[in-house]
Amino acid sequence: MNDELQRRDLLAWAGAAALVGSVPAHADEKPEHVPLDRVALDAPLGQTLDGKLVSLADFTGKPVIVFFWASWCPHCRRELPEMERLQQAAGDRIRVVAVNNEDRQVFRKLTRVLSEYKMLLAHDPKEVSAKAFGKPPSVPYTMLIRTDGTVAATQSGWGDDSLNRMARNVDAALKAAGPAEG
């Protein structure tokens, strides 16, 4: 019985320590991740399977959704087809770039499996793009970048309303970008 009480006390202390560790000690301290207001117009996005470097500058004049994800993440796997549907619905008016930083073998397999996708799959094993985009706190992490490099929206994690919120932000970014050409 005494061992059980000690175990409960330890669990309670561990829980309290975790809560205290997640809150800044002082009100003026900033959390570790602060979403960016602007991204460099030539920010790196990684590279394609064939080694072509990809940057935000490749999509000048279009809003870009940068979707950081991993194959081991169940929420990412749930959101990835939704991002593809968004790319298909928006056509050439927007660009969705799915950035993955897993090892090359995994990325190669993912590229093969997702070969029918219209969105761009980018590989970023050294997390160069992650750093350029403010080091996402977790995956999935989505950023909507306006044509001028300002960040229209960020979304960390997955929730029931995630796609609806992103769709509203995409609509606003497309309206701001102007009518489709062609």
Q: Give the C-alpha separation, 172 to 166, whole Å.
A: 10
Whether the predicted pLDDT of 23 surpasses 70: no
Q: Give the C-alpha separation, 137 to 153, whole Å.
A: 15
Q: Considering the entire predicted model, what is its pTM?
A: 0.77
What integer pLDDT is reported at residue 47 of this predicted model?
97
DSSP 3-state assignment of 75? helix
In words, the CATH class of domain 31-177 is alpha beta
- Residue carrying structure tokens 């809150």: 23
Q: What is the pLDDT of residues 133-143, one digit of tens each?
A: 998 889 999 99
Q: Which residue would you say has higher pLDDT here, 17 or 73?
A: 73
User: Mean pLDDT lowest for which of 43-57, 62-76, 105-119, 168-182?
Assistant: 168-182
Whether the predicted pLDDT of 130 surpasses 70: yes
Whether the predicted pLDDT of 27 surpasses 50: no
What would the DSSP string read from start to end of 3-18?
HHHHHHHHHHHHHHHH
Q: Which residue would you say has higher pLDDT here, 162 or 44?
A: 44
Q: Which residue would you say has higher pLDDT here, 70 or 32?
A: 70
Burial class (CB in 10 A: 0-12, 13-18, 19+), 145: buried
Whether residue 118 contacts residue 84, with contact meaning beta carbons closer than 8 Å, is answered with: yes
User: Mean pLDDT lowest for which of 28-42, 68-82, 96-110, 165-179?
Assistant: 28-42
Structural domain boundaries of the chain?
Answer: 31-177
